[in-house]
Amino acid sequence: MPTANQRTSVPVIVDEEKCIADKGCTVCIDVCPLDVLWINPETGKAHMKYDECWYCMPCEADCPTDAVTVDIPYLLR
């Protein structure tokens, strides 16, 4: 069965100016209960790779540079 890619708007937003993942920080990636935050290989910054969010907020609360914002997923808003 062939597959297709579907785009989706994701709830976790990372401010790339503030994010220090490229300096070795992985705090938001470590604390996510659903493991949906990964390093974007193109920028070296954290990003939401999978749209599987419980809007629980450890990523935002624990970020040392206040780079992460959790929005309510669009379907719930």
Minimum distance between the CB of residue 50 and other proteins, rounded to whole angstroms?
6
SS3 assignment for the chain:
CCCCCCCCCCCEEECCCCCCHHHCCCHHHHHCCCCCEEECCCCCCEEECCCCCCCCCHHHHHCCCCCEEECCCHHHC
Residues that bind other proteins (CB under 8 A): 1-3, 30-35, 49-50, 52-58, 61-62, 70-73, 75-77
Q: Provide, rounded to whole angstroms, the least separation between the CB of residue 42 and other proteins.
A: 17
User: Given the complex with other proteins, which of 28 and 67 has the nearer CB atom?
Assistant: 28
